[in-house]
Structure 1
Amino acid sequence: MNRRPALELLGLLALGIGLARWRPLPGGAWTFIALAPAALGLTWLVRRNLLLVLALPLGWWLAGAHLAPPDGPHRIREDEAGAPVLVEGILERDAALLDAKGRLHLLVTEIRTERGRRAVRESVVAYLRGTLPEWTEGTRVEVEGRLDRPHNFRNPGAWDFEGYLERGGVRYVLMGAASDARALGVLPDESLGWTRGLIVGLRARAKAFLAGPATASFSPEVVGILRALVVGDRTAFSDRLYEQFQATGVAHVLAISGMHLGIVGYLAYRFIKALLKIWPPLLLRLNARKWAMAAALAPTFGYAALTGAGVSTVRAAVMAAVFVVALLLDRENDPLSALGIAGVAILVARPLDVFSTSFQLSFAAVLAILLWSPVLFESPRPIPLGLRPWENFALRAGRWIREPFLISVITDVATAPLIAAHFQRLTWIGPLTNLLVIPLVGFVILPLGLLASLIALLSAGLGAAILLPAGWASGLVVRWIALLDAVPARSLSLPAPSALGVVGAYLALLGLAPALRPWRRPLVALGAVLGAIAVAPPLAAWAHAERPRVAFLEFDRGEIAWIDTDDGRGILVYGGVRRGSAFDAGRRVIAPFLADRAVRTIDDVVLPLRADRLALGMDALEERFSIRRRWCPGPAPEGALPCAGIDDPGAPLERIEGADGLLWRDRERGAAVWFAGPIRKRGPRGSGLV
């Protein structure tokens, strides 16, 4: 395998950014200038490219500048957090809905407190109880609430909420109510810039079209798929449907990436090339292929901007641009170098994206495809003559299926360590799901959805007619995924591997790639050693763990505990969950914790009397775990989850007469845990755990 300086540069830059997590360098320009003489000296000593030598300190410095940005007069101050404030700002993204809360990404321009008002310029994310109007990017709004620093739940397997906001340059969140937010107007297009204003307008009209009469006959799941693929808006996606996409291994189709941009670019290329052929004299002066390729970049980049320009989208767009530039300059196209250039471009602009799930999964999947390309794209043998018609058809169909099936298998294997680390799960059914989903998305849903949205700008009726086949195909995708989601063990929960374990797995996988055959043995051996080192301590800790063990989960909307008994039973205890809460405790808190402990069965669940399924998160728990028994501290009211009484024989907890709470005993060891209130003795109205 030949050297790829762009890939080497990407690796060193990412390593430098990783070092900044351990010990950030000061972000000032003088820090980097001070490193320059040392880099020049090292370049002379090792006779290597100056850029490669500078890559590691550059990544270190860039990440430090983002992790510890300098304070300034236009930044929010610490003493302004924790108190009621009124902020004015401009929406950096369209308003969205998450867990029944309005979410606003704001560029705050003014903040008002009891001490007065002052001008600021800092990004803040506002979470507001209630439903917001569909405000678009560029809307100027005024919001009242409380500024706070974001914080993570410190439960094993919990989502890194702080890191997610940190990568976007967000230091504060604003908590409030939707009723305390109002629009002050919309920035004129000249303030947004012509290009950005055009994209914002197109996105707003496409979203309105996909939420209007054209989709009135479609199910909410179909509308969610169409909005996700056409404008990159996943807020219409239900948690249940997204869980099915994850469990069946096709969540990647919702992340706008190379497949989506490739479809748009290819269709644009064919259309532009056909237009050029209408005027034969042009073909005598122009290279139709080159000009069509170059012109197709405009709709490709436009679609990338329309869908939000996420990490995987930008990676694909940069690779497409590198490919076209190589074509125009009559240079050989090298996809590995294009991948390296795309990664460097992303990390220079947003260095902390190296820690994001989308960056890691996108680059791992594409790198695997490129390293296995000698096998994937080898020329097939000629079809033998004299075959019967059905044999000829079967052979051609097998060849048509082989390539996408192998690509799906390779990308699933390549992303498995990262998916295990980030989501505590593995799925094996993805290649089968993709056999139907990818063709429907690529040939029907995406092209017709985009075409319908564009035609709707001129004729809503014609756009709705074009959208119908895309809706039918989306419905078929929903049914296909629901069918495969019912397959037993289609997705396995497992503890998140350590960073060392992930590195070991990838070294071993790199050793298996045909493009790296000369280094196969050392890479596989080193990967196996690192994997063994990573796995040994947790296995030893699990084998020697004392039981019973009780874990109290951090959760700011109630109390939840998990008990591992000495006989291997698992008991989940709800010590009170806020009624009416839209936060899905099962999906966001309990499921990641149990997956990290390799739990597959919950033997007993002790439920409160007066909390709904969403607040308890029972839907998510029933999807991912087997629940054997449910218990309640009293007769369940009408409409509540079915459960046995806590006073019945076999209940895992017991009530103590005259006390306000429940007790769990380990009679053999003499251990006990008291779960105090808010349980009250049953009164005339049947009150209980609330």
Structure 2
Amino acid sequence: MALTGLQIRLPDWRAGVLERWLEAERDALVLWLPVALGAGIAAWFVLPDRADWIGWMLASGGVAAAGLVLAGGTRAGRVLLVGGLTAALGCALVWWRAERVAAPVLARPAVVAFSGVVERIEPLPARDLTRLTLATEAASGLPPRVRVNLADGDMPAGLTRGARIALRARLMPPAGAAVPGAHDFARVAWFARIGATGRGFAPVTIVTPGEAAGSDLRQRLSQHVRSRLPGSEGAVAASLATGDQGAIPETDAEAMRRSGLAHLLSVSGLHITAVVAATMVVVLRLLALSPWLALNLRLPLVAAGAGAVAAIGYTWLTGAEVPTLRSCIAALLVLAAVMLGREAITLRLVAVGALLVLLLWPEALVGASFQLSFAAVTAIVALHEHQRVRAFFASRDEDWGRRALRSLASLLLTGLAVEAVLMPIALFHFHKAGLYGALANIVAIPLTTFVIMPLEALALSLDAVGFGAPFWWLCGKALALLLWIARTTADAPGAVAALPMMPRGAFGLMVGGGIWVLLWRTPVRWVGVAPVLAGAGWALATPAPDLIVTGDGRHLAVRMDDAQLAVLRERAGDYVRDLLAEGGGADGELPAIDDMRQARCNADLCLARITRGGRTWRVLATRSSYHLDIADLTAACRRADVVVSERRLPRTCRPRWLKLDGVTLRTSGGVAVSFAPLLVRRVADDHGSHPWVRPPAVMPPRGRENDQPRPGPHGKTVR
């Protein structure tokens, strides 16, 4: 290597190969800007503490400095410089954002009486609940913002946004991941500045009235749609119109998830696109009726402007959630390209949309919504930008039969590409993915876009003059067909692929390799297949946990010798059972451990024997608050390999290998254990020192009900 001033140059043959490749890929280089920013954001979430965050920014700065001195003045040098600075910016940006939104969080569960101003009302008819977001008063000693669920029967009449109410509620800190790999609501609540969640009790008193009744257009529209279409059809129709999913029965919501159609329920790019396209078509056709307007105005430009107004209005109507805002931004970028006479949908526009979202909401990167939507859009655009695909599906002069088959093939190929890209993301976040989603979406997406949404819009428009009923009937039949597709697909044999907790490294390899394949244009792109396959192999080779324990120690699932998971408490709720099933890669109802022949249980203790790797492991768990004889407990612990309890066990309880009592679990969080090979994964290992793990806490008000002892399950008092 030759040193020239401050520049270090590579040998000519290496520099030539690298520069020729980057020159061939020059149009794709800008697409990596949001990837570099996202890498910095992801590093902040993955790395455990501030020392590592600072180390990442220094290392990224070193890469940028290398761009100045290594092959300076070349395209490779500029790539290193911009990429390094952007990666450092991403880490700094999300760190600053996390500190900027910092707000007090409740220290421990408490039953308190307080008053607050209603910021948001979310009806959940399917659960007979209404969710309220309240801004509390400083004198209450509570976090500034709390979220409370109220039974519909406890809701005061005439409650609207802006009202000040007084109520009593049981509040608790936002719950983190209960088991490794589970959803971390504490992280979501931190960025939403929610410091406590819980359930309110009657009576709820309106101290000061809020907005005028009926002023919430979104709520009124949802109620109107459900009044015109009862049952599940009306609930789905309300979701399409306003984004309100609270009325969808859980059975139908689960069917939509299992069939790969859940994306139709949340307002996203599909819905925004349908609204914008319909608006543009209607405006264009109406304006074209006037010869003067057709001759003197650029009608496509006017139609694009109307589409932009429709996109903004629909986003506001559906609550302006971050996923909807993201889709709106992308739609506005496409419309801007149309107005400028540029190609409407390209990977550059997708990259600009992703960059804007990450700059405004960097925390969105780790959410499933961001990953699923941008992965799907990127896959679709990259597929149809490929020269061979574009040539095969280009319009041509042929009979309608061949044209229909070509369109069907386009839908099928697009669906398969999207399913392939989305499956690792779905398995990482939800531990399951629908296998027949591509086939179901071939029918469901056109049905929703070209039949259901236009019929619903027409029915709502004609309701103003009293002629909407026939179109509501047609819309209901189309929605019934959509739900039938979801239920039939969900119930098909092998409809769902279930996978236990995926290692972050495996997910990172698949995502990184997938991005490499999608963004580059030259044959070098296929190098990305190697990390995708490596990540997939790693994920499939990761052993399913044999023991899963929630962070409070109350619930656990044990994998018996027949590979079936069994839960400790027969009365465990659906949420807990689903949580443990997903963590263990199981699909279906989990039986109680009492029914397993490898377990012996009484009211206070359960002992399960598990054979793995030629050895029998003995797992002992407590499941009551009764007093246990210390001598008997000590002897039982000595015979067990693993002991699990929600209570603090005495020091004399010494199992052969692992003790997971209340004291240990408060530090480790939920735990997943594999016996062959021997592997322990803790929630704390994934969280590090991020601010929502040990947030600035507020103590619950003293002298209230929270300081009183609580009755145990059998009438005994525990503290």
Distance 2:197 2:424 in 1: 32
Give 1:502's aligned residue.
507
Secondary structure at the aligned position of 2:500 is classed as coil
Alignment equivalent of 2:571, drawn from 577, 580, 583: 577
Letter in 2 for 1:480: I
Residue 69 of structure 1: CA displacement? 3.2
Query: Would you say 1:473 and 2:483 are equivalent positions?
Result: no
Distance 2:318 2:395 in 1: 42
CA contact (8 A) 1:203 1:231 kept: yes
Distance 1:170 1:467 in 2: 39
Residue 307 of structure 1: CA displacement? 1.7
Give 1:152's aligned residue.
176
Give 2:431's aligned residue.
424
Partner deviation per Cα, 1:577-605 (whole Å, 9 max, x = no partner): 37xxxxxx33x322343343334688953
Aligned length: 586
Distance 2:136 2:616 in 1: 61
Secondary structure at the aligned position of 2:494 is classed as coil
CA contact (8 A) 1:445 1:474 kept: yes
Give 2:667's aligned residue.
none
Query: Would you say 1:378 and 2:391 are equivalent positions?
Result: yes
TM-score using structure 2 length: 0.71
Distance 2:529 2:459 in 1: 50
Give 2:489's aligned residue.
484
Alignment equivalent of 1:17, drawn from 20, 33, 41: 41
The 3 A distance-change label for structure 1 pair 444 and 15 is same
TM-score using structure 1 length: 0.74
Query: Would you say 1:564 and 2:559 are equivalent positions?
Result: yes
The 3 A distance-change label for structure 1 pair 65 and 568 is same
Residue 354 of structure 1: CA displacement? 0.9
Partner deviation per Cα, 1:487-529 (whole Å, 9 max, x = no partner): 1111121123222212222344456559634213432234444
Q: How does 1:338-417 map to 2 (within 5 A)?
A: 338-373=349-384, 374=386, 376-378=389-391, 380=393, 394-417=401-424
CA contact (8 A) 1:560 1:572 kept: no
The 3 A distance-change label for structure 1 pair 83 and 484 is closer
The 3 A distance-change label for structure 1 pair 402 and 522 is closer
CA contact (8 A) 2:94 2:363 kept: yes
Letter in 2 for 1:378: A
CA contact (8 A) 1:203 1:306 kept: yes
The higher relative CO (CA closer than 8 Å, separation ≥ 6) is in 2
Query: Would you say 1:462 and 2:467 are equivalent positions?
Result: yes
Q: How does 1:108-507 map to 2 (within 5 A)?
A: 108=135, 110-113=137-140, 122-129=144-151, 131=153, 132=155, 137-177=161-201, 179-180=203-204, 182=206, 184-187=208-211, 201-212=216-227, 214-215=228-229, 218=230, 220-333=231-344, 335-373=346-384, 374=386, 376-378=389-391, 380=393, 394-456=401-463, 458-459=464-465, 461-507=466-512
Distance 1:476 1:534 in 2: 36
Letter in 2 for 1:103: R
Letter in 1 for 2:89: L
Distance 2:293 2:370 in 1: 42
Give 1:637's aligned residue.
none
Residue 480 of structure 1: CA displacement? 2.3
The 3 A distance-change label for structure 1 pair 555 and 376 is farther
Partner deviation per Cα, 1:250-281 (whole Å, 9 max, x = no partner): 11111222221111111111111122223322
Q: Percent identical across equivalent pairs?
A: 22
Across the aligned residues of Structure 1 and Structure 2, the Cα RMSD in angstroms comes to 4.1
Give 2:27's aligned residue.
3
Give 2:707's aligned residue.
none
Residue 7 of structure 1: CA displacement? 3.0
Residue 80 of structure 1: CA displacement? 10
CA contact (8 A) 1:156 1:593 kept: no
Distance 2:397 2:593 in 1: 66
Letter in 1 for 2:32: E
Residue 531 of structure 1: CA displacement? 5.1
Give 1:590's aligned residue.
577
Distance 1:489 1:535 in 2: 17
Distance 2:570 2:84 in 1: 57
Partner deviation per Cα, 1:89-137 (whole Å, 9 max, x = no partner): 232354445755431123x152443x8xx9x8x4432233554368555
The 3 A distance-change label for structure 1 pair 662 and 435 is same
CA contact (8 A) 1:206 1:231 kept: yes
The 3 A distance-change label for structure 1 pair 97 and 61 is farther
CA contact (8 A) 1:157 1:593 kept: no
Distance 1:555 1:36 in 2: 39
The unaligned stretches of length 5 or more in structure 2 are 1-24, 52-57, 628-712
Give 2:661's aligned residue.
none
Distance 2:401 2:623 in 1: 67
Letter in 2 for 1:525: A
Query: Would you say 1:105 and 2:105 are equivalent positions?
Result: no
The 3 A distance-change label for structure 1 pair 292 and 41 is same
Secondary structure at the aligned position of 1:91 is classed as strand
Partner deviation per Cα, 1:312-348 (whole Å, 9 max, x = no partner): 4223322222222223333444521211221122222
Residue 84 of structure 1: CA displacement? 2.0
Residue 669 of structure 1: CA displacement? 5.4
CA contact (8 A) 2:169 2:200 kept: yes
Residue 674 of structure 1: CA displacement? 6.1
Give 2:649's aligned residue.
none
Residue 413 of structure 1: CA displacement? 0.7
Letter in 2 for 1:397: A
CA contact (8 A) 1:424 1:596 kept: yes
Residue 352 of structure 1: CA displacement? 0.7
Secondary structure at the aligned position of 2:493 is classed as coil
The 3 A distance-change label for structure 1 pair 302 and 364 is same
CA contact (8 A) 2:118 2:164 kept: yes
Query: Would you say 1:58 and 2:89 are equivalent positions?
Result: yes
Give 1:581's aligned residue.
none
Secondary structure at the aligned position of 2:332 is classed as helix
Distance 1:303 1:382 in 2: 32
CA contact (8 A) 1:423 1:592 kept: no
Give 1:624's aligned residue.
none
Distance 2:579 2:109 in 1: 30
Distance 2:550 2:61 in 1: 51
Residue 606 of structure 1: CA displacement? 4.6
Give 1:520's aligned residue.
525
Letter in 2 for 1:424: H
Distance 2:202 2:391 in 1: 57
| Worse-matched range after superposition: 671-680 or 297-306 | 671-680
The 3 A distance-change label for structure 1 pair 59 and 593 is same
Letter in 2 for 1:524: V
Give 2:98's aligned residue.
67
CA contact (8 A) 1:501 1:530 kept: yes
CA contact (8 A) 2:64 2:82 kept: no
Residue 83 of structure 1: CA displacement? 6.2
